[in-house]
Amino acid sequence: ILNVEQSPQSLHVQEGDSTNFTCSFPSSNFYALHWYRWETAKSPEALFVMTLNGDEKKKGRISATLNTKEGYSYLYIKGSQPEDSATYLCASTGGFKTIFGAGTRLFVKA
């Protein structure tokens, strides 16, 4: 695994807006793609782990998709709330190594 890229680096939205982030990862030697939410002063918390091309996962207002052939995953948040403010990390696992992206910092204004 060479590099995991996340975009945008940060995002400011209003309460009620829907938003999405992108995670790009090398598609060779791929095993799993993870998404985590990291709130300030807390530990990263697992949201989703996906392994199959075309996987879609959903947890409440948050959902994620996976395209292993082209090496990207999207995370969607529907109707953002202030409590969604956090850093969203993605990580790609392959060859017994998990590499994290730098994260997307989301700010939701009430």
Partner 1 sequence: KAGVTQTPRYLIKTRGQQVTLSCSPISGHRSVSWYQQTPGQGLQFLFEYFSETQRNKGNFPGRFSGRQFSNSRSEMNVSTLELGDSALYLCASSDPGQHNYGYTFGSGTRLTVV
Half-sphere exposure of 107 (CA within 13 A, CB side): 5
Binding-site size for partner 1 (CB under 8 A) equals: 23
**Contact predicate 28/12, CB 8 Å:** no
Minimum distance of partner 1 from residue 97's CB (angstroms):
5
How many helices (H) does the chain have, and how many strands (E)? Answer: 0, 11
Give me the 10-49 binding string for partner 1, x by CB under 8 A, dash otherwise.
----------------------x-x-x-----xxxxx--x
Give the span between the Cα atoms of 110 and 107, in whole angstroms: 10
Interface of this chain with partner 1, residues 64 to 93, rule: CB under 8 A = 89, 91
Binding site for partner 1 (CB under 8 A): 6, 32, 34, 36, 42-46, 49-51, 89, 91, 95-103
